[in-house]
Structure 1
Amino acid sequence: MTVEVERKFVCDAEVMGKLQDIGAKCIGQRQFRDQYFDSPDFILTLKDFWLRCREGLWELKCPAVSGTTPDNDTETLCTRYREITSFPLIQSEVGRIIKEHTAEGSESNSSQKFKTERCSYMLERETGAVRVDLDQADFGYCVGEIEVLVPEGGDMNAALQRITSIAEELGLSCEKKVKGKMDVYLQRYRPEHYAKLLSAHIL
């Protein structure tokens, strides 16, 4: 199982030129539709578990223990999630979370759906490859993501350093944490859900 270490950044008109300037290679463009699922009382997301179906493929993002204390900008600007893509494992994990929450469980669910156009780049460095995705969501939000995949139990600090290095090459300042697509979607279209996640310090 891998841990996705990621830093989001504001995607502006100049970023493609900057990526080319620092030697990034475009590895493809694609469109996909994401549908996120939760119980009516938000059992999963209030525990920072994100269940989605992307073009028929299921994925559960689970909070990863970083092993470090977020005491600097690099730590606070990055997210870390374990990714489960095996459907039986996803069913088992989701069932466990719901069972812990309530003895009865819940059959119904709430869902959110949106489409994304993605342009992906790869940067090869001595310390390893770093991926950069530029995403344009169909509700008008554009965001970039610098991503490194780390084996579970791997060197998280090295991944954070690689992400910081690429951010510096792109001229990104140590700004406040940038919202992801789902954060903005919930803020705009599901304000009650968004407010509960803020109160729980998930977002």
Structure 2
Amino acid sequence: MTVEVERKFVCDAEIMERLQDIGAKCIGQRQFRDQYFDSPDFILTLKDFWLRCREGLWELKCPAVSGAAPDNDTETLCTQYREITSLPLIQSEVSRIIREHTAEGSESNSSPREQIDKVAENEDTEICSADDTKWLNVLNLVCFAEFKTERCSYMLEREAGAVRVDLDQADFGYCVGEIEVLVPEGGDMNAALQRITGIAAELGLSCEKKIKGKMDVYLQRYRPEHYAKLLSAHIL
């Protein structure tokens, strides 16, 4: 498992030129469609878990806790998530979260406990098939966000290690940049944060406030109730 450490920034007309000026190499352009899933009462996202299917590949982003950051501003401007990409592990983790929520006695439309346990224990290989979405129905997970992104990616090689920069244009009219470093779980988060801060400085980015990601803007525009609950829970 890896931890994705990421800082978002506003894309302007000069960003590609500045990337070239600091030695960034374009490593490709692509388009992809993302679908995000949660229960009708937002069990996953209210705990800061984000279940995504991108062009048939599943990923679960889980909140990660880092050690001390170089400074408070640096940590505030960055997000840190563990990434699970194995479908059986994703199903097991999602089942655990829903099972614990159900056990707490919260009002939920979740499926019966025995069905949830069946997915978690991988007893039914058909349910665990990547091409089958039965497990979503069993866990009562529905798609709450779907959008396409045009992405242009760059790589910067530095003595401390490589840093990736993605420029994203979502099909609902929002453009955002991301500076990203992947760290093995248990790795040096401080070093990753420092590398991101260094690239941000080279690009002349302001450190005044955290920039909204595509999901923040999508929910604010199209799922205001969901967005309000996440704000209230201090997830966004």
User: Shorter-chain TM-score: which interval?
Assistant: over 0.9
Say whether the 8 Å CA contact 1:38–1:110 is kept in structure 2: no
- Other structure's SS at 1:102 match: helix
Using the TM superposition, give the Cα deviation of residue 173 of structure 1 relative to its aligned residue in structure 2, in angstroms: 1.1
Q: Partners of 1:188 and 1:173 in 2: how far apart?
A: 25
Instruction: Give the corresponding residue for 1:66.
Output: 66
- Other structure's SS at 1:106 match: coil
Instruction: Give the corresponding residue for 1:129.
Output: 162
Using the TM superposition, give the Cα deviation of residue 175 of structure 1 relative to its aligned residue in structure 2, in angstroms: 2.1
- Other structure's SS at 1:176 match: coil
Using the TM superposition, give the Cα deviation of residue 29 of structure 1 relative to its aligned residue in structure 2, in angstroms: 0.1
Say whether the 8 Å CA contact 1:37–1:110 is kept in structure 2: no
Distance 1:47 1:19, change over 3 A: same
Using the TM superposition, give the Cα deviation of residue 69 of structure 1 relative to its aligned residue in structure 2, in angstroms: 6.2
Distance 1:109 1:28, change over 3 A: farther
Q: Partners of 2:110 and 2:158 in 1: how far apart?
A: 42
Using the TM superposition, give the Cα deviation of residue 67 of structure 1 relative to its aligned residue in structure 2, in angstroms: 1.9
Say whether the 8 Å CA contact 1:117–1:137 is kept in structure 2: yes
Using the TM superposition, give the Cα deviation of residue 64 of structure 1 relative to its aligned residue in structure 2, in angstroms: 0.3
Distance 1:147 1:116, change over 3 A: same
- Percent of matched pairs sharing the same residue: 93
Say whether the 8 Å CA contact 1:39–1:106 is kept in structure 2: no
Distance 1:63 1:19, change over 3 A: same
Say whether the 8 Å CA contact 2:61–2:84 is kept in structure 1: yes
Q: Which moved more, 1:101-110 or 1:120-129?
A: 101-110
Count of equivalent residues: 202
Distance 1:110 1:98, change over 3 A: closer
Say whether the 8 Å CA contact 2:70–2:193 is kept in structure 1: no
Q: Partners of 1:42 and 1:105 in 2: how far apart?
A: 15
Q: Partners of 1:168 and 1:104 in 2: how far apart?
A: 46
Say whether the 8 Å CA contact 1:123–1:131 is kept in structure 2: yes
Q: Partners of 2:71 and 2:201 in 1: how far apart?
A: 19
In the superposition, the TM-score normalised over structure 1's length comes to 0.95
Distance 1:110 1:54, change over 3 A: farther
Say whether the 8 Å CA contact 1:37–1:109 is kept in structure 2: no
| Greater radius of gyration (CA) | 2
What do the CA deviations read for 1:29-77 (whole angstroms, capped 9, x no partner)? 0000000000000000000000000000000000001122695210100
What do the CA deviations read for 1:58-101 (whole angstroms, capped 9, x no partner)? 00000001122695210100000000000000000000000000
Match of 1:162 among 187, 191, 195: 195
Q: Partners of 1:65 and 1:57 in 2: how far apart?
A: 25
Say whether the 8 Å CA contact 2:166–2:177 is kept in structure 1: yes
In the superposition, the TM-score normalised over structure 2's length comes to 0.82
Distance 1:56 1:94, change over 3 A: same
Where structure 2 has 5 or more consecutive residues not aligned to the other structure, the ranges are 112-145
